[in-house]
């Protein structure tokens, strides 16, 4: 594999503390991970701006979180098909690596008991929730992740999600094949290398993970439309090492969350060295995109980020009032479980909408 060429055009997105770009897990947060809410608290209204957003001279980046999690099973072909039919700029997703090296799309490091059923149709229990790194690709392909377990907190958070019995954990290659066919090779991808430095034994090491992800991107020839993101800055360092000098030609996007001690996640970088300013830290890390939790965002922070040449794309914004507030702050994109709600706000503002690609 020519890793330098596969990396050309790829945007790296790294969690400033612990972040996915991506929203909260269905299960309780792992030890060392910050609390996450799908419905983020609103920033202080006193810091909001009434000026029209400019998006830094680029189209608004509407990202479908795990596909369109509010409407369809997360991180499944059915979910990505739904997001494309709604119309998004970018498909956001999470990666894992199996025991036999298959790159699959799945949010959690281990099987999620809230969504996973075995061949017998029953939801798995905690004892069966093995790390994906311990399972083969063939074993994963037998599991059904198309319906949320009834009565769970996760089910209550997404009451409108339409189940698709038989939906599987897809390979990244399968997601690329579907999305490229439906979009005519125009859709963008925001891909997270799912790894936590608090539990390094649950996933592949950063270099192995980076090489596998880059190989999958190279094989699909979509490198100029891919963003890589990670909880762990070690994954960013590995991607740089594997890609070589090509990384200097690309932009970086950093996600942040203020609810956790960043020491493990920043790989030796310190927020204190930048007077507590996330935009300054992101800029110093040679990123051009800052993706904070929406709860951590306010008008002055957006203004500071823009003054530093950064684009601002917060996560995970689902509430219509918060979507409108984010637009008023002048953000450059949004990551949402409900991309249709973001489109409605864009339409009300007279802004250009992403192309929709309904399946035939």
pLDDT tens digits, residue range 269-306? 888 998 999 898 878 777 778 888 899 999 999 999 99
For position 22, what pLDDT does the model report? 45
Please tell me the total count of domains within the chain: 1
Between residues 166 and 28, which one has the greater pLDDT? 166
Residue at 45 is within a domain: no
Look-up: residue for tokens 């999958």? Answer: 216
Residue at 205 is within a domain: yes
State the number of CA atoms in the 13 A half-sphere of 118 facing the CB. Answer: 10
Residue % of the chain over a pLDDT of 90: 60
Among the residue ranges 119-128, 179-188, 198-207, the one predicted with the least confidence is 198-207
For position 44, what pLDDT does the model report? 47
For position 286, what pLDDT does the model report? 73
Residue at 139 is within a domain: no
Residue at 81 is within a domain: yes
For position 220, what pLDDT does the model report? 96
Residue at 127 is within a domain: no
CA distances from 89 to 82, 85, 109, 300 (A): 13, 12, 27, 27
Q: pLDDT band at residue 54, thresholds of 50, 70 and 90?
A: low
Taking 80 as the threshold, does the pLDDT of residue 41 lie above it?
no
Cα–Cα distance, 318 to 295 (Å, whole number): 12
Cα–Cα distance, 120 to 136 (Å, whole number): 19
Cα–Cα distance, 264 to 300 (Å, whole number): 27
Between residues 151 and 266, which one has the greater pLDDT? 151
Residue at 50 is within a domain: no
Neighbours of 239 (CB within 10 A): 27
Q: pLDDT band at residue 19, thresholds of 50, 70 and 90?
A: very low
Q: Give me the CATH number covering residue 268.
A: 3.20.20.190
Residue at 138 is within a domain: no
Average pLDDT, the chain: 84
* C-beta separation of 106 from 94 below 8 A: yes
Residue at 172 is within a domain: yes
- 11: tokens are 């945007």
Name the DSSP letter for residue 333: E
Q: pLDDT band at residue 251, thresholds of 50, 70 and 90?
A: low
The domain containing residue 85 runs over which residues? Answer: 3-22+61-106+167-348
Residue % of the chain over a pLDDT of 70: 81
Cα–Cα distance, 115 to 125 (Å, whole number): 11
Taking 50 as the threshold, does the pLDDT of residue 252 lie above it?
yes
Mean pLDDT over 316-343 rounds to 97
Among the residue ranges 37-51, 84-98, 223-237, 315-329, the one predicted with the least confidence is 37-51
Non-local CB neighbours of 67 within 8 Å, separated by 6+ positions:
73, 74, 75, 76, 78, 79, 80, 81, 82, 83, 91, 92, 93
Between residues 299 and 226, which one has the greater pLDDT? 299
Helices (H) and strands (E) in the chain, counts: 11, 10
């Amino acid at each position: 594999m020519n890793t330098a060429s596969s990396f050309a055009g790829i945007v790296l997105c790294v969690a400033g503390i612990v972040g996915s770009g991506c929203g909260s897990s269905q299960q309780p947060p792992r030890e060392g991970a910050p609390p996450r809410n799908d419905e983020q608290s609103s920033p202080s209204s006193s810091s909001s701006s009434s000026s029209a957003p400019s998006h830094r001279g680029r189209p608004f980046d509407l990202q479908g979180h795990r596909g369109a999690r509010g409407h369809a099973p997360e991180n499944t072909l059915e979910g990505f098909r739904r997001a494309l039919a709604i119309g998004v700029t970018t498909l956001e997703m999470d990666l894992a690596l199996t025991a036999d090296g298959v790159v699959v799309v799945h949010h959690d490091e281990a099987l999620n008991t809230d969504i996973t059923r075995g061949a017998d149709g029953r939801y798995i229990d905690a004892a069966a929730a093995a790390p994906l790194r311990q399972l083969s690709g063939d074993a994963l392909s037998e599991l059904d992740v198309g319906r949320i377990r009834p009565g769970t907190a996760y089910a209550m958070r997404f009451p409108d999600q339409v189940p698709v019995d038989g939906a599987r954990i897809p390979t990244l290659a399968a997601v690329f094949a579907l999305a490229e066919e439906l979009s005519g090779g125009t859709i963008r991808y925001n891909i997270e290398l799912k790894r936590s430095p608090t539990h390094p034994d649950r996933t592949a090491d950063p270099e192995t993970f980076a090489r596998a992800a880059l190989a999958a991107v190279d094989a699909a020839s979509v490198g100029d439309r891919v963003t890589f993101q990670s909880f762990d800055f070690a994954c960013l360092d590995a991607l740089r090492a594997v890609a070589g000098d090509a990384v200097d030609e690309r932009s970086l996007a950093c996600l942040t969350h203020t609810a956790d001690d960043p020491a493990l996640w920043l790989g030796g970088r310190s927020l204190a060295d930048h007077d507590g300013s996330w935009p300054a830290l992101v800029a110093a890390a040679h990123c051009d995109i800052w993706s904070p939790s929406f709860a951590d965002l306010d008008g002055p922070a957006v203004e500071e980020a823009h003054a530093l040449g950064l684009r601002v794309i917060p996560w995970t914004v689902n509430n219509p009032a918060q979507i409108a507030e984010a637009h008023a702050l002048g953000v450059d994109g949004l990551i949402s479980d409900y991309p249709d709600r973001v489109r409605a706000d864009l339409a009300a503002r007279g802004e250009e909408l992403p192309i929709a690609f309904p399946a035939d």
